[in-house]
Structure 1
């Protein structure tokens, strides 16, 4: 694994190949450009050593066709960065890191990273991709006080220290820290990656150090921005994809300027990957994204209006989608998901109300609420018995999984739950049988949600029924996602419903930061997470939480994967025992609508945001149509 801090050099390489030019066939999509000479032949568009990803048991394909997808919001087009998954280093479908854009990475002692680019690789406009693109990012963006007033991204820091950046030659750069930085490579491989490069040849025209003041003022006014910083940021959004003129390294490039209801992504003529025969990827010519109401997307998918769709589809759409397979010319696959829980409840231990805050920080209260959830009933009623009855923890497919993590305080036992609440002193009840708080108010918990699915409503309705057996009344308040976040952050929300652990299938060399208060958007301890992020506020005084913070810091300095695994397991033990979140159901399958003519899409696979990038780790650039017409 790449985080073993050896004194010798550790290499991360991809599957590299010399292109087989004799077998290369021109891509019909580029016929006119090739004939006119405006586009060079394939051999001149590829790097000297193209990336040759493992196809596992997949087929080599043929060129042509368009993939149609539906999204609910224009900003969803940024998911094409996840789907295309062109990364300096990226995970394969076994969650192992491989070089992709890079030819190789040399790692010394976990703190010195030498990145070797692929000579001859080009941006989507044909300009060479070189170390200048890394230098420009580091010197003119990441450490520029105007563009980055708070300094470089946190994953570029180790113990709050910036790296020493060096350009070795045209195709080699080096990042060096005094202490190990195990967050660096995973950040490069993420679904929303850390971009440490920028198309310098294009972006310099919007930078004050490279453009005349007169021209910069003109460009700023034309773009309706207040200053050149706003201009630069708007032109260089490599993740949001709002500037079709911005050169890219992704397999498909956006050609539609927002606002729009339909976005067309066209194949990148200089994409760096090839198939086993040396044919340039991607196989598919275009990806078309149409916008539709989220509630209508399952119906539109069922009527055959998509070729590849998972987003906005849920397991409760499965029966309907299966019925439309024949007429819709598609098949429905079920992929495993990777969250620790499909839905989890988060007691806000930083609640503003002192009475509720004290209760939420009492482990007996959290355990009682967890044991009063009938997870088997939720699974059978809402998920056809296809999910897993377990707590919010890592999934059985994770190498760190232990049965005790999944079962701790999660067996349905209202008698034990009632005893715990009695032990706390919550013995008085009103005429309805609802327990009374010490101040005499009824124990009525308002669970705030983003209200984005009927699935969540159905699940919480069952929890409401089972909690009444222990004298707890639940009410659910749907609201907009941003409003929910703000109420949690401020402490107004005493409990919220959200997804479980973002990464339910980690390996020891992946950061355990999700297990400790490290971010404000961790709904069980937003203010403690805010303290870690910004230094503002106060840290937790709970011994178990303090231990999690200490363990997370220890992981960052661990000298072996064995030590990292020990830290992970201790953090998982603490979470299982302390019930900082209440997982309601896990392992929910994701319906996947796939055009029956679309090949190389796995029938059974793993669908997750991080790690996974949804379709990303399955090499969407290798999907093709059996009959492109």
Structure 2
């Protein structure tokens, strides 16, 4: 499964508890490191002077004058089994820039929980703990970008040529030198290999959609040349955690290890990719095979499928504390694999776990009360970070519904606006979200850069948030009357303008979580009050995608909009450019533009095309969004791109809501055992946290490798 596919299916529990108190939008810290346009840009990663406080520094910390390491590694060095620490680290290690961290103690183990995985690999969600393979990193809840494996980077004036300078002296976990050959192996022998399933990721495409030319200038320098400006390259290089399936593109493979499983380099594994592919994917995956080298802070030690996963310290990890301590501090991560979420929650309450990142195991804020009651036994403190959602549980119609009469009504802005104004979000906020978050018509994440840049950005956000927010059922009725959706037969429910019965379904995958169903119940109630009949409709998850893509489902009621840290890095909610959101067939049309299929099947029914697709109405809102978006993709100036985003938002306000939110930015739960240090609290984070989107991977962005025990000897497995 690709990283994009994983994000498209990610949903969360969005409840919260009264004990959580109100959640306000976090104040932003200064940005930095993001592309701003103008002349050539050279940027570097790191942090400023280390200090306690909020957020993360954005200027490179000085290289520590000396380094310290785990006593376990020091013993291996003394025994001649391991190189000295100075030889294991790159010339300029990545120095942790977070203001809340302080030097810790080595040792101890961390007991964690993992959702049940498939295919012998660790569940993709748990890879969100490790940022080691990512070229660049997001800081300050997405407001800034810093280095990762890349130490500095630059681009030309129009952002069509990028040069990445990697840290000299990087090593894989087996001690073998890392080089750009490991990227070129991935690029040439996997991505450009038509027999392999990997395709070029977004960060390797220009604004026109054409694939870049990648070349290794030397062992530590990579060149990316595009046919047109590619201004979002840095943002997209910071996305995901990368390195293995399920969390974004790999971007690198340990070539010295992987070649033995590739048919091009070893005919013994098979003469073709068809015969060798399975062997390659299983063995060249650091989350499945302990022998496969990795760049992450912990490396796989052992795995008992369906039972446990153990990770141990990577002695060559390239990240250090400002005082020179090589990370990670904790010796091992011990993940207990549990299928039943209730069993997992019982383990938490019984004190069998040390750290739980709530969204990954269904720990929502409605669980806070029970977790607080069991604190004497569990020793788990309850922390709340902002989720960053722009909607909470969302509702949106299938704008490309197969039934032409229903499709015409769905596309009527007054119809959708009426339903939004008839929704009593205050009841949802109280019952589902325990009076946290903020009621919203539905936007992208309130933490997005475009809302923080200046007062105009703040106003644009508020205008979108409030555009169809006010609870006003009488005004909603008037809108419906204006478009001829009235009760013609006196049964208490409104009909289509032609007098035929009107009833639509609130569709959701049958395995969805209770918060979505609870929200749907309020929609049924509120819309009935204005004469609109709606009924919840669980759908088999296995068939959901095909039904939606073919316009056979009416709505999606079990998702959320949480994308960021800016609107353009993952713009699918702002602009319909793929088939999983509110315009599935028009999104598919956009996807074939510029491909050999663009001019094909024009005389075929849109729902019978392969894939099903239809062209937007000329001059209509989708057509308008596309035209602005296409300009934004090749605009190197960040402020001009921001203004284009605002223009697209105005289209949402005028013709929307295309998706209807409930309550935005509700908290997410983190459970941490007392004595586990360097875990940030909400007030430490630049914007209070930004948990929900996988492209801004949490907790990886907060570097769990810095976690340490105040008394390590008391935490041994």
Residue matched to 1:100: 148
CA–CA distance in 2 between the matches of 1:300 and 1:264? Answer: 18
Shift of 1:340: 1.2
CA–CA distance in 1 between the matches of 2:182 and 2:371? Answer: 46
Q: Does 1:529 align with 2:587?
A: yes
SS in 2 for 1:174: strand
CA–CA distance in 2 between the matches of 1:480 and 1:38? Answer: 55
Residue matched to 2:603: none
Residue matched to 2:111: 68
* Matching of residues 51-450 of structure 1 within 5 Å: 51-75=94-118, 77-86=123-132, 87-95=134-142, 96-109=144-157, 110-147=159-196, 152-158=200-206, 159-191=208-240, 192-211=247-266, 213=267, 215-217=268-270, 226-237=274-285, 241-257=287-303, 259-292=305-338, 293-309=340-356, 310-311=358-359, 312-398=362-448, 399=452, 400-401=457-458, 402-428=461-487, 432-438=491-497, 442-450=501-509
| 2:231 and 2:635 in contact (8 A); partners too | no
CA–CA distance in 2 between the matches of 1:20 and 1:181? Answer: 38
SS in 2 for 1:333: strand
Q: Structure 2 length as normaliser, TM-score?
A: 0.81
Q: Structure 1 length as normaliser, TM-score?
A: 0.92
Residue matched to 2:644: 567
Distance 1:256 1:433, change over 3 A: farther
Shift of 1:556: 0.8
Residue matched to 1:500: 560
1:483 counterpart (540, 543, 546): 543
Question: Which deviates more, 242-251 or 465-474?
Answer: 242-251
CA–CA distance in 1 between the matches of 2:638 and 2:383? Answer: 35
Residue matched to 2:617: 541
CA–CA distance in 2 between the matches of 1:593 and 1:237? Answer: 29
Residue matched to 2:41: 9
| 1:66 and 1:286 in contact (8 A); partners too | yes
CA–CA distance in 1 between the matches of 2:94 and 2:540? Answer: 43
Shift of 1:395: 4.6
SS in 2 for 1:279: coil
CA–CA distance in 2 between the matches of 1:472 and 1:300? Answer: 45
CA–CA distance in 1 between the matches of 2:528 and 2:373? Answer: 38
| 1:93 and 1:618 in contact (8 A); partners too | no
Residue matched to 2:244: none
Residue matched to 2:15: none
Shift of 1:355: 2.2
| 1:77 and 1:289 in contact (8 A); partners too | no
| 1:183 and 1:511 in contact (8 A); partners too | no
Residue matched to 2:607: none
Question: Which deviates more, 290-299 or 59-68?
Answer: 290-299
Distance 1:298 1:372, change over 3 A: farther
Distance 1:496 1:511, change over 3 A: closer
Task: Please give the per-residue CA displacement for 1:304-346, whole angstroms capped at 9, x wherever unaligned.
Answer: 2322211211121122222122221011011111121111101
SS in 1 for 2:553: coil
Task: Please give the per-residue CA displacement for 1:350-389, whole angstroms capped at 9, x wherever unaligned.
Answer: 1122222111111111111111110011101222211211
Shift of 1:511: 5.2
SS in 2 for 1:436: coil
Shift of 1:513: 4.3
Shift of 1:40: 2.1
Distance 1:189 1:433, change over 3 A: same
Shift of 1:228: 2.2
Distance 1:474 1:70, change over 3 A: farther
Gapped runs of 5+ residues in structure 2?
Answer: 1-32, 47-59, 241-246, 594-610, 683-687
Q: Which has the higher contact order (CA 8 A, sep 6+)?
A: 2
| 2:139 and 2:701 in contact (8 A); partners too | yes
* Matching of residues 32-43 of structure 1 within 5 Å: 33-43=76-86
Gapped runs of 5+ residues in structure 1?
Answer: none
Question: Which deviates more, 437-446 or 119-128?
Answer: 437-446
Task: Please give the per-residue CA displacement for 1:231-260, whole angstroms capped at 9, x wherever unaligned.
Answer: 33343346xx23333211111122334633
Question: Which deviates more, 30-39 or 529-538?
Answer: 30-39
Residue matched to 2:49: none
CA–CA distance in 1 between the matches of 2:710 and 2:204? Answer: 44
Question: Which deviates more, 139-148 or 562-571?
Answer: 139-148
Shift of 1:91: 0.3
| 1:373 and 1:466 in contact (8 A); partners too | yes
Residue matched to 2:669: 591
CA–CA distance in 1 between the matches of 2:217 and 2:706? Answer: 33
CA–CA distance in 1 between the matches of 2:264 and 2:472? Answer: 67
Shift of 1:157: 1.7
| 1:308 and 1:593 in contact (8 A); partners too | yes
| 2:309 and 2:335 in contact (8 A); partners too | yes
Shift of 1:593: 1.0
CA–CA distance in 2 between the matches of 1:54 and 1:509? Answer: 26
Question: Which deviates more, 510-519 or 358-367?
Answer: 510-519
Give the total of aligned pairs: 615
CA–CA distance in 2 between the matches of 1:526 and 1:363? Answer: 18
CA–CA distance in 1 between the matches of 2:549 and 2:65? Answer: 56
The alignment yields a C-alpha RMSD, in angstroms, of 2.4
CA–CA distance in 1 between the matches of 2:421 and 2:384? Answer: 30
Residue matched to 1:618: 702
CA–CA distance in 1 between the matches of 2:700 and 2:588? Answer: 31
Task: Please give the per-residue CA displacement for 1:411-440, whole angstroms capped at 9, x wherever unaligned.
Answer: 111111111112221213556512223565
Distance 1:441 1:243, change over 3 A: farther
Q: Does 1:609 align with 2:609?
A: no
CA–CA distance in 2 between the matches of 1:589 and 1:456? Answer: 16
SS in 2 for 1:284: coil
